[in-house]
């Protein structure tokens, strides 16, 4: 499979997974009224942003666009990790499920998203550099 197809499919899967984790699978108390509910809602919105990135990547298979979209996916992954841990947070009570389960799982999911985007970004940069080197050597 070509690189851009891998990028698109993986981001689609990660975006759907993030939305499913934050809205259906992982426990949050208080809905949107408490910090944990707000955190889950923001992470679901970031999952939707990841889906939009994947759709844009499918529509524009150019390398320059994929560089920008990989950088954007990296930023989304970082924010996914930071929302439940630092930016919004969860319940301050250590015994609550949103504090012990939801926040760590969403943080790890964000790290996975960011790592995938970073690897893809490095791959695209190296590939671009190699193509430029080959063009110069033929000139």
At 53-110, the pLDDT tens digits run 999 999 988 888 989 999 999 999 999 999 999 999 888 788 888 888 889 999 999 9
State the Cα–Cα distance between residues 118 and 64, nearest whole angstrom. Answer: 15
DSSP, residue by residue, the chain: --HHHHHHHHHHHHHHHHHHIIIIIS--SSTTSSHHHHHHHHHHHHHHHHHHHHHHHHH---HHHHHHHHHHHHHHHHHHHHIIIIIS---S-TTSHIIIIIHHHHHHHHHHHHHHHHHHHHHHHHHHHHHHHHHHHH-
State the Cα–Cα distance between residues 44 and 28, nearest whole angstrom. Answer: 13
Count of other CB atoms within 10 angstroms of residue 80: 28
Provide the domain count of the chain.
Answer: 1
Domain containing residue 24? 3-138
- Non-local (6+) Cβ contacts of 78 within 8 A are 110, 114
pLDDT score recorded for residue 91: 80
pLDDT > 80? residue 139: no
pLDDT > 70? residue 32: no
């Amino acid at each position: 499979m070509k690189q851009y197809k891998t990028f698109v499919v993986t981001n689609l899967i990660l975006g759907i997974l993030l939305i499913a984790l934050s809205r259906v699978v992982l426990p949050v108390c208080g809905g949107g009224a408490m910090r944990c509910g707000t955190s889950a809602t923001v992470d679901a919105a970031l999952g939707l942003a990841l889906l939009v990135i994947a759709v844009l990547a499918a529509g524009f298979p150019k390398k320059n666009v994929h560089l920008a979209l990989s950088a954007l996916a990296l930023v989304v992954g970082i924010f996914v990790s930071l929302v439940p841990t630092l930016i919004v947070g969860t319940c301050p009570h250590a015994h609550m499920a949103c504090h012990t389960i939801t926040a760590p799982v969403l943080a790890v999911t964000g790290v996975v998203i960011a790592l995938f985007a970073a690897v893809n970004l490095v791959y695209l940069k190296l590939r671009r550099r190699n193509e430029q080197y080959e063009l110069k050597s033929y000139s």
